[in-house]
Each structure stands twice: as structure tokens, then as C-alpha cells.
């Protein structure tokens, strides 16, 4: 049996630095966590993408439906990873979130998609955004740069609201507490969060030239983001000014 890295099973013993270099720690811990179960981790990370691809085969509503439901599958993958990591760890594992959390996760996914559509409309015109909404990929041929920037732009709302989604799923807290925690984390860790999300944005933009990057982005995004959440949650436990209990 492979061993889960200790850094994602318990709180650290002392406060950690909050500069941009902290993102390097999240990257290393995420990769170590992935190596602890390479094939299982890859399947878990690709599951939302496979689900999304299958839904997009549906005519007319497939794309919108995929953007609505895929975040739920992503949340399930994150919860399952948390459950696996904490079998021998010290962080609590709550049950699967109920419908209120599911609705919030779906709405956050729609916010990201709406933002990406707006960026594409700005870069390539409303007609291109409408073609994407309708799933008409043929009409988007030749728009490699606008599509790359559109993909990368989704990182902005994800960076601002993604931690709230993770906290709702993993910490079992109500929406208001998760909202406060999200903004506390952004203020305290803005430098490494900026570095981390810039890395993800560049990788996403590169998909238009190197589609195989998806096999790196998916597991890195899942495992690295989970290691990031564990690290930030532990940071709140050390901060006397934190907005409520993190776990």
C-alpha cells in the first residue's frame, strides 16, 4: 500500500511562510500526493472531464448541462481524495455534502463559464461566444489565441471563489462561514495563490497547442489544490484573527 504524504494528513507544527514561494510547496506536495497513487489519482482527476465530455455529446443543451453538472463530479473527486488521505490522518472527514452545497457548487461553475463566455465575446465577438454556447466547434476554427485566453481567464473567478467551494465540500461548514473563510484566505495567502493560479492559467492556455497537457493539468489541479487547501486550513488554525473555525 502506498503512503500518503504527512503534509496533507495533519496540521504543520509551526506557521509556514506566505510568500510566492509557498506555491512551490503546494506543487511539490501535490505531486507527492499524486505519486502515492498514480493511476488512482489520474482516474480520479480525469473523471470530471470524462463526464463533461460525455454530456457534451447531447444536442443543444449538452454544453450548458456539462458546465452545470461537472463541478459536482469535481467536488466528489475532491471529497474522495480527502477521504483517502485522511484514513490515517488527523483531519476530520465529513459526509457527502447535501443539496444546498451542491447548488452552490453548480452556481460557481456557471459563474466561471459565464465569465469565459464574456471574455470570448470581448476577444472574438458575440457570435463566437454564441457558437461556443451552442457547441458549434466548427465555427470556432482558427480562433486558437482567443480560445486559449478564454480558457486561462477562467482561473480568475476560480481563484476568487474556488477555496470557498473546497471548504464547503471538505470542512462541512455553512455557506456564510465558507464565504468568510474564503476571503480571509485570499487576504492572508494572496501571493502564493497568485503564483499558483498563474501557473495553472499558463498550462490551460497551452492546451490549444499541446492537448496532452490535460493529463498533467487534471491531476495537478486536483492534488495540488487539495494540498493547498490543507495548508491554508492549517494556517487558519494558527491565526488568532481567523474568521471562525476552519474545521
Residue pLDDT, tens place only, 117-162: 999 999 999 999 999 888 788 888 889 999 999 999 999 999 999 9
Give the pLDDT score at 141.
86
- In the predicted model, what is the mean pLDDT of the chain? 85
Give the pLDDT score at 87.
65
Between the alpha carbon of residue 70 and those of residues 46, 54, 64, 137, the distances in Å are 11, 10, 10, 19
| pLDDT < 50 regions, the chain | 1-2, 6-7, 9-15, 237-247
> Structural domain boundaries of the chain?
37-86+95-231
Give the pLDDT score at 17.
63
Q: Which of 100, 102, 120 is CA-nearest to residue 112?
A: 120
Burial class (CB in 10 A: 0-12, 13-18, 19+), 3: exposed
Give the pLDDT score at 134.
82
Q: Which of 156, 231, 151 is CA-nearest to residue 194?
A: 156
Task: Give the pTM.
Answer: 0.84
Amino acid at each position: 500500500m502506498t503512503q500518503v504524504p504527512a503534509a496533507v494528513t495533519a496540521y504543520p507544527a509551526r506557521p509556514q511562510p506566505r510568500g510566492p514561494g509557498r506555491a512551490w510547496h503546494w506543487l511539490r506536495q501535490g505531486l507527492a500526493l499524486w505519486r502515492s497513487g498514480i493511476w488512482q489519482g489520474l482516474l480520479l482527476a480525469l473523471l470530471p472531464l470524462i463526464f463533461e465530455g460525455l454530456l457534451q455529446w447531447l444536442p443543444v443543451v449538452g454544453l450548458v448541462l456539462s458546465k452545470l453538472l461537472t463541478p459536482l463530479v469535481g467536488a466528489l473527486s475532491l471529497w474522495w481524495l480527502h477521504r483517502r488521505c485522511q484514513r490515517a490522518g488527523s483531519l476530520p472527514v465529513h459526509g457527502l455534502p447535501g443539496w444546498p452545497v451542491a447548488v452552490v457548487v453548480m452556481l460557481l461553475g456557471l459563474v466561471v463559464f459565464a465569465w469565459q463566455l464574456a471574455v470570448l465575446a470581448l476577444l472574438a465577438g458575440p457570435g463566437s461566444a454564441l457558437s461556443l454556447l451552442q457547441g458549434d466547434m466548427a465555427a470556432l476554427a482558427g480562433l486558437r489565441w482567443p480560445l486559449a485566453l478564454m480558457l486561462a481567464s477562467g482561473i480568475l473567478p476560480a481563484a476568487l471563489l474556488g477555496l470557498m467551494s473546497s471548504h464547503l465540500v471538505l470542512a462541512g461548514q455553512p455557506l456564510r462561514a465558507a464565504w468568510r473563510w474564503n476571503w480571509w484566505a485570499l487576504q492572508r495567502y494572496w501571493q502564493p495563490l497568485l503564483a499558483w493560479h498563474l501557473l495553472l492559467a499558463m498550462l490551460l492556455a497551452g492546451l490549444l497547442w499541446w492537448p496532452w497537457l490535460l493529463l498533467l493539468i487534471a491531476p495537478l489541479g486536483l492534488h495540488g489544490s487539495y494540498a493547498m487547501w490543507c495548508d491554508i486550513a492549517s494556517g487558519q488554525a494558527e491565526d488568532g484573527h481567523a474568521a471562525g473555525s476552519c474545521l
